[in-house]
Amino acid sequence: MRDRDSKATARLAELKESPAYLATTQPVVMEVLQGVHSAAVGRVERVFDGLVRLDVDPQLDFHQAAHLYRAVRESGHTVRSSIDTLIAAVALRRGAVLVHRDRDYDRIATVAPKLRTEPLLDS
């Protein structure tokens, strides 16, 4: 949200205008809000309030996230944040495309072929 000229900002603007819906999940909200300056919290919360929320299902998603974490580790890599595996688990269950700027999702996708990702990492 800070990088006004980044690839991610441009793609977010496109998604807002597209007929497909833009959604988030609680762990994404948490990650973003913990990194926002206090003065911007209200503005960021309003952005999230306007999005569809894909809720975490504790009965399914925590177990799937743990499975994904183990699978990535067994493939010889490490996911830096287990929150990323929880976000991926929600996206998998809901069939959502996970738009991201985090290389961990590329690692997760190698062990979860049904996870659809769209990386927005600037070159």
Annotated binding-site residues for Mg(2+) read 5, 84
Going from the C-alpha of 24 to that of each of 21, 42, 76, 79, the distances in angstroms are 10, 17, 29, 20
8 Å CB contact between 5 and 35: no
Rounded Cα–Cα distance for residues 90 and 28 (Å): 11
- Annotated binding-site members: 5, 84
Nearest to 82 by CA among 105, 60, 66, 71: 66
Angle between helices 26-34 and 41-49 (to 10 degrees): 160
